[in-house]
Amino acid sequence: MQAQALKPTDAVWWPDAATLDSANLTRFMRALGVDSFEALNQQASADPAGFHDALIRFLDYRFYTPYSQVLDTSEGLPFARWCEGGTTNVVLNCIDRWRGTPRYTQPALIWEGEDGTQTTRTFEDIDRETCQLAWGLRQLGLGRGDVVGMYLPNLPQAAAAMLAVAKIGGIVLPMFSGFGADAIAQRLQDGRAKALITVDGSLRRGKPMSAKPVVDEALTHCPGVQHVVVLNHLTTAHGWTEGRDHWWHELAAGAPQDVQAVPTEQMPADDPFLLMFTSGTTGKPKGVVHSHCGFPVKTALDLSICMDLKPEDRFLWMSDMGWLVGPILVFGGLQTGATVVLAEGAPNYPEPDRLWRLIERHRVSYLGLAPTVARLSMSLDTAALDALDLSSLRVIVSTGEPWTPEAWHWTFDRIGQRKVPLLNYSGGTEIGGILTGTVIHPLKPCAFAGAIPGTGADVVDAEGHSVGQGVTGELVMRSPSIGLTRGLWHDRERYLDSYWSRLPHLWVHGDFASRDADGMWYVHGRSDDTLKIAGKRTGPSEIEAPLMGTGLLQDAAVIGVPDPIKGTAVLCVCVPRPDTEEASAAKTLSAAVVAGLGGAFKPARVVFVADLPRTRNMKVMRRVVRAAWLGEDPGDLSTLVNPEAVAGIRAALSAQEQA
């Protein structure tokens, strides 16, 4: 097996012979009898059923009852059914499979609290904790098909909570641990939840935060929630409703000691176990549905096969359990047999370089991060960062938004020392990954090696026709993928309208993408973020790159605003570095954009703010930036970790109008 041929000057990293030979992707291609990644994709598109059948067998994904038909598209591509006739459970494949093996007594989860507290759980420990809670949930009458909300920060018990709900055949509904009462109530109501698992309180940036009172307020609007399970973690004041509220430890106290006495529910393979709500620009959050055979198999394809997660890895990806990355970390890591490193709190607290210290402390080998985290880390003290030992890193995976070249090179050069592959990964809550990097391809900055097999990914024009090299178009999927959502929760028409109505028989993902002459792919941001300036179309990241290249900024978001002549003008909303002199910086930044893209893209304004609105996994919400500047309805803001940033943008607008 050889790395894909590229001109040496185009690549900054090449896999060596040992990496190529030992890669999970190499082993998978050998098992299927193909000799290249392109051939693997062609085989998957030509025979989706055969490909996914081979994938399931290669992964040794286990079933109680074997399936009789791997793929059924009788209702059309949007409603493909998988593993028909089979029964399984995600917990069978994440926990039960390790019983009686050497892996069972080895670390499955390492946790570090915001205050520095550390704990380690083996697979056996998590199995026991999962079984105890599952037993308690069954005593409450909960079981198959019941939706159970989860409002927990990144505590070690969060993994057991998700596993326990799935184990009894329920559907877990994880929610962002920073949500307020209204956001919780809306998701519990829309999800038709019968129960909720929460905590009394936890630390957030050094301050004790009560979760139970927020839950109590939310439940005044949720009569369908019959039970609340409360983890006793950080003693904080809260109310108690007898008959409804139950302490976790008391509920689990009567469980049998023998885990075999708490059976895992044998579920129809394509039944749901995970309900994730994702925010949209307008309307209510959308309930994305993932199944017992779909999400785990697709996650293993993405993480383990394409991006080479191995059982010996220590896997850290800082994200709240309310975003898809949280379940990917837990279910993907445990299914692979890797050790999950879970950290409470933020990547930049209590120390601004906390993320990188976590890697050193816990010898993390497999790191996931958002490009924004890298951009913010570029302002850290160079000497302090250089003093850290990050030599344990083997693979870095990134997702969330497009890279700027400067941030990509900083991460590859400074963090990975030009030795660690920095793999791009792009997709969404509804599908997992669509595009990926691999360890068998050379690395080109900011690029993807290609489409994840089984997605049939393509770049098309407005009529759905494939576009050529160097042409930007819509990212779509042509093939049914086992990881695709089984629809939107109780909203068939919205599902079809949101993803399948624009182009016949194509899933339109909402990203702009392109391919180069070497077969590498690039994502240029959300298609609804795209700017058309004086008839020229570009993505925000292309303008943000020269802004960040000046070295004057911590971060930047570029949006389009109405202009009477151009139609749309460029507005640069920037977070300056502490030592930046704003008046002169604005001229330098504007000149950098003109030098990089031409006079047509000269910013109409450069605005400085203290921060940009972000989700908990640090993704910048450009639609919110634009709405705040224009005084429009920004849509759902419940996912923001820093809603005060919206007021900061509006204050900057007011200051400019008064100047």
DSSP one-letter string for 382-447: HHHHHTS--TT--EEEE-SSPPPHHHHHHIIIIISTTTS-EEEEEEETTTEEEEE--SSS-B-TT-
**CATH code assigned at 572:** 3.30.300.30
pLDDT-wise least confident of 36-50, 164-178, 542-556: 542-556
**Cβ atoms within 10 Å, residue 537:** 12
Q: What does DSSP say about strands 521-526 and 536-538: parallel, antiparallel, or unpaired? A: unpaired
Q: Residue 79 has what pLDDT? A: 96
Same domain, 390 and 290: yes
Q: CA quadruple 95, 98, 102, 103: dihedral positive or negative?
A: negative
Whether residue 282 sits in one domain with residue 250:
no
Is residue 530 very low, low, confident or very high in pLDDT (cuts 50, 70, 90)? low
Let me know if residue 207 belongs to a domain: yes
d(CA 219, CA 207): 24
pLDDT of 7 strictly over 70: no
**Is 353 in a helix, a strand, or coil?**
coil
Long-range contacts of 421-425 (CB under 8 A, 24+ apart): 421/13, 421/15, 421/395, 421/396, 422/13, 422/396, 422/398, 423/307, 423/395, 423/396, 423/397, 423/398, 423/449, 424/398, 424/399, 424/448, 424/523, 425/302, 425/307, 425/397, 425/398, 425/399
Least confident among 342-356, 449-463, 531-545: 531-545
pLDDT value at residue 283: 60
Q: What pLDDT does residue 212 have?
A: 94
Could you give the CA distance from residue 109 to residue 295 in angstroms, rounded to a whole number?
20
Q: What pLDDT is stored for residue 346 in this prediction?
A: 87
Confidence of residue 61 (pLDDT cuts 50, 70, 90): very high
Is residue 411 within 8 Å of 420, Cβ to Cβ?
no
Residues ≥6 apart with Cβ < 8 Å to 364 = 314, 315, 316, 341, 358, 392, 393
Span 235-250, pLDDT tens digits: 777 899 999 999 999 9
**At 38, which CATH number?**
3.40.50.12780
- Between 5 and 591, where is the model more confident? 591
- Looking at the chain, the number of H-run helices and the number of E-run strands are 22, 31
Q: What is the pLDDT of residue 534?
A: 54
Predicted confidence (pLDDT) at residue 435 exceeds the cutoff of 70: yes
In the predicted structure, residue 637 carries a pLDDT above the cut 90: no
Could you tell me if 335 and 100 are in contact, meaning their C-beta atoms sit under 8 angstroms apart?
no
**122-142: average pLDDT:** 98
Retrieve residue 197's tokens: 């698992």
Tell which wins on pLDDT, 596 or 84: 84
3-state secondary structure 431-470: CEEEEECCCCCCECCCCECEECCCCCEEEECCCCCECCCC
Asked if residues 411 and 374 have their Cβ atoms less than 8 Å apart, the reply is yes
What is the predicted pLDDT for the residue at 237? 77
Q: Are residues 129 and 205 in the same domain?
A: yes
**What is d(CA 317, CA 90) in angstroms, rounded to the nearest whole number?**
21
Burial of 38 by CB count in 10 Å (0-12 exposed, 13-18 middle, 19+ buried)? middle
Read off the pLDDT band of 617 (50, 70, 90).
low
> Domain containing 26: what range?
8-89+272-525
Residue 510, classed as helix, strand or coil, is strand
pLDDT at 207: 84
Provide the percentage of residues in the chain whose pLDDT is more than 90: 74
DSSP state of 498: I
Compute the average pLDDT of residues 490-496: 94
* Residue 489 phi, psi dihedral angles, 5° rounding: -55, 110
171: closest CA among 286, 288, 285?
288
Query: Is residue 644 classed exposed, middle or buried when 0-12, 13-18 and 19+ CB atoms within 10 A define those classes?
Result: exposed
**Pairing status of strand 422-428 against strand 395-398:** parallel
Which of 12-16, 178-182, 555-559 reaches the highest mean pLDDT? 12-16
Whether the pLDDT of residue 279 is over 50: the answer is yes
The answer to whether 647 and 653 are in contact (CB under 8 A) is no
113 found inside a domain: no
Q: Confirm whether 110 is domain-assigned.
A: no
Same domain for 519 and 590: no
Higher pLDDT, 209 or 564: 209
* Owner of token pair 């705040």: 628
Q: What percent of the chain has pLDDT over 70?
A: 95
User: By mean pLDDT, which of 180-194, 312-326, 432-446, 616-630 is the weakest?
Assistant: 616-630
Distance of CA 270 to the CA centre of its chain: 22
As beta bridge partners, residue 553 has 576
In terms of domains, do 164 and 213 share one? yes
| Strand spans (E) along 46-188 | 69-72, 81-84, 87-88, 107-112, 118-122, 147-151, 171-174
Q: What is the mean pLDDT of the chain?
A: 92
Pull the structure tokens for residue 579: 């030592």
**pLDDT at position 554 over 60:** yes
Q: Are residues 394 and 490 in the same domain?
A: yes
How far apart are the C-alpha atoms of 186 and 221, rounded to whole Å?
9
Do 386 and 319 belong to one domain?
A: yes
**Is residue 554 a contact partner of residue 576, using CB atoms and an 8 Å limit?**
yes
Band (pLDDT 50/70/90 cuts) for residue 537 is low
User: d(Cα 628, Cα 226) in Å, to the nearest integer?
Assistant: 39
334 and 464 inside one domain = yes
Residues 521, 536, single domain; the answer is no
> Can you read off the two tokens belonging to residue 508?
């339109």
**Is 410 part of any domain?**
yes
pTM: 0.85
User: Among 212, 243, 265, where does a domain finish?
Assistant: 265
Of 88, 70, 58, 71, which Cα lies nearest the Cα of 305?
Answer: 58
CATH number at residue 261: 3.40.50.980
Q: Which two tokens stand for residue 373?
A: 């985290």
Q: Are residues 212 and 166 both part of a single domain?
A: yes
Residue 205 Cα to chain centre, angstroms: 22
Flag whether 450 is in a domain: yes
> 541 to each of 407, 569, 608, how far by Cα in Å?
12, 15, 18
Number of domains in the chain: 3
- Choose the final residue of a domain: 499, 525, 551: 525
Look at residue 48 and tell me if it is in a domain. Answer: yes
Give the C-alpha separation, 10 to 580, whole Å: 34
Q: Is residue 532 very low, low, confident or very high in pLDDT (cuts 50, 70, 90)?
A: low
Asked if the peptide bond before residue 350 counts as cis, ω within 30 degrees of 0, the response is yes
Is the residue at 114 inside a domain? no
- For 486-620, where are the alpha helices, taking DSSP H only? 492-495, 540-549, 582-597
How large is the average pLDDT for residues 503-527?
89
Residues 335 and 74: their CA atoms lie apart, in Å, by: 31
pLDDT, residue 281, reads 45
Q: Is residue 370 part of a domain?
A: yes
Q: What mean pLDDT do residues 73-88 have?
A: 97
Q: What is the pLDDT of residue 282?
A: 47
Query: Is 60 exceeded by the pLDDT of residue 272?
Result: yes
Digit-coded pLDDT (tens) for 318-331: 988 988 999 999 99
Same domain membership, residue 520 and residue 413: yes
At residue 179, the pLDDT reads: 84
Dist. CA 293–CA 57, nearest whole Å: 12
Single out the residue in 265, 290, 314 at which a domain terminates.
Answer: 265
One-letter amino acid of 288:
V
Give the count of beta carbons closer than 10 Å to the beta carbon of residue 66. 12
* Pair 579, 563 in one domain: yes
- Residue predicted with more confidence, 561 or 145: 145
